[in-house]
Amino acid sequence: MTSVGRGALREVMLPAAAALGALMVGALALGRLAGGIGHVGELALGCLLAPLAALDAAAHLGTLATTGLAGFAATAMAAAVVRQWVQARAVSQAVDRARLSSLPPSVAAAAVAVGVPERVDLVDARRPFAFVYGWRHPRICVSTGLVDRFSAGELQAALLHERWHVMRRDPMRLTLASAVRAGLCFLPPFRTRAEQYVVAVEIAADRFVVTQMGDARWLAGALLRLQPGTVSPGLGGQLEPRIAALVDGTSERERGRIGWGATVLAMETAAAALLIPDSRLTAPLGYVLLHVC
């Protein structure tokens, strides 16, 4: 994985992990304030059963609210992953039904040239599109409409773009970004970061194409022939910011927030260690800091 792709993923996952960690640490802290109960499940039960003093009522309610938000976030993320999995299976089955038995010589030659000779599926469709599908073994789907409209150089640029998504297993990565956006919908900055990550993935794939071909004109020609709304991750996704990045080299990614997410995670690890002496809970956060940051 390149530094561009790794950095973009960190910008989504680190802040998201920090936000979830903040919710859980807040619940633990309020639990200590309310009566010294360490485990979240026992804490929620204690809030319902224990007599509430006037001063403790706010702490109990705050704990329930924080725990509820964390539970909502986890449930929404899980639901988003399941929804994406169902959609991915539906796309895979649709491609299987529409796949042509053999590739025309021009497509087969382009697939060999870019290094994906066994991963390209051609479907009979008028609309020009190309996208990657599949989680475990990603494949490239190309329409006959795209093949008919594109020149040889534009077709190679399209397949190189999709090869980048295949190498990085972007269908799985974009599923994680979708889960973050769904789970943290009540925190607009994190939803925005997830959306920016989708754009960053497409821009990184475009840069890979330009680097491999040594010229941006084939990719530019391919983008101009496409219409917005093509399935992502694919050649037709996020066209406007990608064309802007291709023209002037700009990107919507902001690099400075990676360190912020890691710092918050470190602070949460220390806070959790103080609130719960048992290291079994804090060990996973430490593992994240050592292996992701």
pLDDT tens, residue by residue, 2-21: 554 455 455 555 555 555 55
| 119 in Cβ contact with 102 (< 8 Å) | no
Q: For the segment 87-134, what is each residue's pLDDT rounded down to a tens digit?
A: 889 888 999 998 998 999 999 999 999 999 999 999 999 888 899 999
* Range in 13-27, 135-149, 266-280 with the lowest mean pLDDT: 266-280
Can you give the pLDDT at residue 105? 94
| 26 pLDDT more than 90 | no
Can you give the pLDDT at residue 40? 47
Q: What is the mean pLDDT of the chain?
A: 71
Can you give the pLDDT at residue 111? 95
Give the count of domains, the chain. Answer: 1
Can you give the pLDDT at residue 133? 92
Binned at pLDDT 50, 70 and 90, residue 191 comes out as confident
Average of per-residue pLDDT across 187-196: 78
Token pair listed for 219 = 């990719």
| 173 pLDDT more than 60 | yes
The span from the CA of 29 to the CA of 161, in Å, is 47
Can you give the pLDDT at residue 228? 54
| 257 pLDDT more than 50 | no
SS3 111: helix
The span from the CA of 131 to the CA of 115, in Å, is 16
φ/ψ of residue 227, rounded to 5: -110, 150
Binned at pLDDT 50, 70 and 90, residue 265 comes out as very low
Average of per-residue pLDDT across 187-214: 86
Give a three-class secondary structure readout of 15-67.
Answer: HHHHHHHHHHHHHHHHHHHHCCCCCHHHHHHHHHHCCCCHHHHHHHHHHHHHH
Can you give the pLDDT at residue 259? 43
Q: Which percentage of the chain shows pLDDT scores above 90?
A: 26
| 216 pLDDT more than 50 | yes
| 128 in Cβ contact with 221 (< 8 Å) | no
Which residue range forms the structural domain that includes residue 127? 3-292
Among 4-13, 130-139, 177-186, name the most confident range. 130-139
